Amino acid sequence: MPPRRTESSVKLSTGTVRGDQAEGVRRFLGIPYAAAPIGDLRFAEPAPVAPWVHERDATTPGATAPQYPYDGGMERFLGTTIVPGDDFLNLNVWAPAKGSRMPVMVWIHGGSFIHGSNALDAYDGTTFARDGIVFVAINYRLGAEGFSVLDGAPTNLGIADQLAALRWVQTEIAAFGGDPAKVTVFGESAGGSSVATLLAHPDARSLFARAIVQSGPLSAKPAKEAGRISRLMAKKLGIKPTRDAFAAKTPQELLDAQKAVMAGSNPIMGGPGFAPSVGGAFVPRNPEEALQTGAGRDIPLMIGATSEEYRLWFMPSGLMDRVNSALLLAARAKFGIGRRVYAPYRHNRPDASPGEMLGVLATDVILRLPLIRLADARLGRGAATWVYEFAWRSPVEDLGAAHAMELGFVFDGLARPDSIALAGDDAPQSLADAMHAAWVAFATHGDPGWRRWNEERPVQVFDEEGAHLVEAPREDERSAWPR
């Protein structure tokens, strides 16, 4: 039986919002942090919200950014919630019923920059609020609306939305009992990539105090490369890649073109896709380069990945079985993986299939090696960094420790349908207790509870054995790569 909810209101600078409260947690859904990006505001920087006079209902999820559900087998494991409406630049807040100057966590969802929203059940912030956190989950523009490279339009509008949401938090979060000086921004996948991009932004220190990057690529693309999908979409639509031409198309028309040109693409094997692009006010430098050379060094960072990221794309699609030795060899040539680098990987996995070998190598190239290099660079500049690896293996359709598998554990939501779809209905609650507590501790005290990164390269591993520290895991593989 669901808990009985009572009304709860909060006065903001733009007007009063009416949420609800149950079991010591207040909840406010669909609060706009920027004006609806429609009409003249389409393909434009986020604009301020117009104040409202009457109390605004905040008891149901707000609109979600235009998107299609997952397909190609992924829909069995990753859900989609679509709420119609134009005011999709909104955020949700969960807060303890009592308290002030509490730590704040701002969640940026993933989804390859084309999927996801704060309306997903997996991102319910009740467990964080239960543990003394004011939790905020944001929406931002996705796909063509948020990451096109067009003549006459600013680039990286999805990142601009995230910055606007963080500025809203600085202005308004005290009304919910949060401390704007104790904000931790965190995200997974595209959300993790967004956090890295925000960490490298010149305004980072004024917007948040700590950051967590979960399975997020650190690098943005050069504008020409990032704009490839915009050019392909323009060709498909028979228009020019300009702001005026794209704005003349409906969101549905853009989604249809986007789906057509992205068919068969995925983050591991490549293909047309959206990503932050280097240049302009919102991503002035490549984030990876900026972070390597000292950007964000005064902001504590927790960063990590799952040990088998690739399996989320390889297993549902059947790609695992379609990769043969010839394709593996071609991929090695593409990534410049010679015999010296490949040897320890093969030695450590003598029975691995070509698909497994390709997946392991791609995971390291895209995620594991860059995060280690960043941790090393931050160590050289005296920055505080903690590294983790999620290695618990799901029994569901041999997904193993796949991309996104850690989400139900971080959110302490193993009983939620989105988590059961990935991890099954018998995932270890003790592991969720450990991970969730570490994330809360980092946001509250600036230390997740294990040794920070140093010359011994300590990694907190979350696996079947629980949570335990391992020094320099798979060091033979890491050290085989050129410096």
How many domains would you assign to the chain? 1
How far apart are the C-alpha atoms of 431 and 453, rounded to whole Å?
22
Residue in 142, 153, 161, 137 with CA at minimum distance from that of residue 48: 161
How far apart are the C-alpha atoms of 180 and 136, rounded to whole Å?
12
How far apart are the C-alpha atoms of 210 and 101, rounded to whole Å?
16
- Which residues, other chains included, contact 327 with Cβ-Cβ below 8 Å and sequence gap of 6+? 354, 358
Helices and strands in the chain: count of H runs, count of E runs: 20, 13
CATH number at residue 415: 3.40.50.1820
Q: Is 1 part of any domain?
A: no
Active-site amino acid positions: 189, 309, 403
- HSE-CB of 290 using CA atoms within 13 angstroms: 20
Q: How far is CA 311 from CA 314, 355, 398, 402, in A?
A: 5, 10, 8, 5
How far apart are the C-alpha atoms of 95 and 25, rounded to whole Å?
6
- Structural domain including 108 reads 6-479
DSSP codes joined into one string, 30-57: EEESS----GGGTTS---PPPP-SSPEE
Burial status of residue 98 (CB atoms within 10 A of its CB: 0-12, 13-18, 19 or more): exposed
What's the farthest any 2 CA atoms get from each other in the chain? 68
How far apart are the C-alpha atoms of 200 and 408, rounded to whole Å?
28
Contact predicate 121/173, CB 8 Å: no
- If one counts every other C-beta atom within 10 angstroms of the C-beta of residue 14, the result is 18
How far apart are the C-alpha atoms of 377 and 382, rounded to whole Å?
9
How far apart are the C-alpha atoms of 321 and 375, rounded to whole Å?
34
pLDDT at 351: 96
**Residue 21 is inside which H or E element, if any?**
strand 15-22
| 90: helix, strand or coil | strand
Burial status of residue 121 (CB atoms within 10 A of its CB: 0-12, 13-18, 19 or more): middle
**Residue 229 is inside which H or E element, if any?**
helix 228-237
Rg from Cα positions in the chain = 22
Q: Is 445 part of any domain?
A: yes
Q: Which residue has the tokens 């609306």?
A: 145
pLDDT at 1: 62
Q: Is 409 part of any domain?
A: yes
Burial status of residue 142 (CB atoms within 10 A of its CB: 0-12, 13-18, 19 or more): buried
pLDDT tens track, the chain, 483 positions: 677 889 999 999 999 999 999 999 999 999 999 999 999 999 999 999 999 999 999 999 999 999 999 998 999 999 999 999 999 999 999 999 999 999 999 999 999 999 999 999 999 999 999 999 999 999 999 999 999 999 999 999 999 999 999 999 999 999 999 999 999 999 999 999 999 999 999 999 999 999 999 999 999 999 999 999 999 999 999 999 999 999 999 999 999 999 999 988 887 777 889 999 999 999 999 999 999 999 999 999 999 999 999 999 999 989 999 999 999 999 999 889 999 999 999 999 999 999 999 999 999 999 999 999 999 999 999 999 999 999 999 999 999 999 999 999 999 999 999 999 999 999 999 999 999 999 999 999 999 999 999 999 999 999 999 999 999 999 999 999 997
Tell me the pairing of strands 466-471 and 458-463.
Answer: antiparallel
Provide long-range contacts, Cβ within 8 A and 24+ apart, for 451-457. 452/384, 452/385, 452/386, 453/375, 453/376, 453/378, 453/379, 453/385, 453/386, 453/387, 454/379, 455/379, 457/372, 457/375, 457/387
Q: Is 343 part of any domain?
A: yes
How far apart are the C-alpha atoms of 111 and 67, rounded to whole Å?
10
DSSP codes joined into one string, 350-382: TT--HHHHHHHHHHIIIIIHHHHHHHHHHHHTT
Query: Is the model's pTM score more than 0.85?
Result: yes
* Beta-bridge mates of residue 92: 137
